[in-house]
Amino acid sequence: MSTAIWWVRRDLRLDNNPTLRRAVETGLFVQPVFILDPALLNDDAPPRQSFLMEGLAALNALLRQRGSYLLLRHGEPIQQLALLARELEASIIFAEEDYTPYARRRDAVATQNLPIQWVTGLTALHPASVVKADGSPYTVFTPFMKAWKSMPSSLTGEWKAPAKLAGPALIESHPIPSFKKNTIFPATQPEAEKRLERFIDDGLFSYAESRDRLDLDGTSSLSPYLRFGLISIRQLFAAAEQAKQQAPDSAATKSAETWMNELIWREFYQSILYHFPFVTYSAFNPRFRAIPWRDAPQDLLAWQQGRTGFPVVDAAMRQLSTIGWVHNRARMIAASFLAKDLLINWQEGERWFFNHLVDADIAANNGGWQWTAGVGTDAAPYFRVFNPTLQGIKFDPEGNYIRRWVPELANLPTKLIHQPELMTALEETRYNVRLGRDYPRRIIDRSQTRERTLNAYQLSKDGFTQPYS
Ligand X SMILES: Cc1cc2nc3c(=O)[nH]c(=O)nc-3n(C[C@H](O)[C@H](O)[C@H](O)COP(=O)(O)OP(=O)(O)OC[C@H]3O[C@@H](n4cnc5c(N)ncnc54)[C@H](O)[C@@H]3O)c2cc1C
- Footprint on this chain of ligand X (rule: CB under 6 A): 211, 219-223, 226-227, 262-263, 265-266, 269, 328, 331-332, 335, 353, 357, 359-361, 364-365, 367-369, 372
Q: Is 262 a catalytic residue?
A: yes
Q: Tell me if residue 374 falls in helix, strand or coil.
A: coil
Catalytic residue among 148, 369, 371, 405: 369
The DSSP secondary-structure symbol of 288 reads G
Q: Over the Cα atoms of the chain, what is R_g?
A: 24
Min dist CB 370 to ligand X, Å, is 9
CA–CA separation, 228 and 361 (whole Å): 9
Backbone angles phi, psi at 342, to 5 degrees: -85, -15
Instruction: Tell me, yes or no, if 293 is annotated catalytic.
Output: yes
Residue 408 is classified by DSSP as G
Q: Which residue is nearest to ligand X (CB)?
A: 368
> What's the rounded Cα separation, in Å, for the pair 43 and 97?
25
Q: Is 158 labeled as catalytic in the residue annotation? A: no
Angle at 60 between CA 56 and CA 65, to 5 degrees: 150
| CB-nearer residue toward ligand X: 85 or 233 | 233
- The burial class, CB within 10 Å (0-12 / 13-18 / 19+), for 20 is buried
Q: Could you tell me if 90 and 1 are in contact, meaning their C-beta atoms sit under 8 angstroms apart?
A: no
Nearest-approach distance from CB 264 to ligand X, in angstroms: 8
H-helix or E-strand spanning residue 119? strand 116-119
Q: Which is nearer to ligand X, 85 or 333 (CB)?
A: 333
Instruction: Name the minimum Å distance from CB 211 to ligand X.
Output: 6
- 35: nearest Cα among 75, 6, 85: 75
Q: Give me the helices (H) in 89-159, please.
A: 101-113, 141-150
Q: Is 345 a catalytic residue?
A: no
Instruction: Quote the least distance from Cβ 207 to ligand X, whole Å.
Output: 7
Query: Min. distance of Cβ 241 from ligand X in angstroms?
Result: 14
Residue 427 CB, nearest approach to ligand X (Å): 34
In the chain, % helix, strand, coil (3-state, to 5) comes to: 50, 5, 40
C-alpha torsion sign, points 164, 167, 172, 177: negative
Nearest approach, Cβ of residue 366 and ligand X (Å): 8
Of 63 and 316, the one with the shorter C-beta distance to ligand X is 316
Residues 6+ apart with CB under 8 A from 304: 317, 321, 352
Q: Which of 328, 355, 387, 400 is catalytic?
A: 328
First to last CA, the chain: 54
DSSP symbol at 140 = S
Contact 401, 417 (CB under 8 A): no
Choosing from 293, 355, 400, 427, which is the catalytic residue?
A: 293
Reference 372, options 394, 340, 341; nearest CA is 340
Sign of CA dihedral 434, 439, 441, 442: negative
DSSP 8-state secondary structure symbol assigned to residue 125: S
User: What is the Cα–Cα distance from 140 to 20, expressed in whole angstroms?
Assistant: 34
Strands 3-7 and 90-96: parallel
What's the closest the beta carbon of residue 467 comes to ligand X, in angstroms? 29
Q: Which residue type sits at 185?
A: F
* 328: annotated active-site residue: yes
Compute the least distance from the CB of residue 230 to ligand X, in Å.
12
Give the active site residues. 262, 265, 293, 328, 346, 369
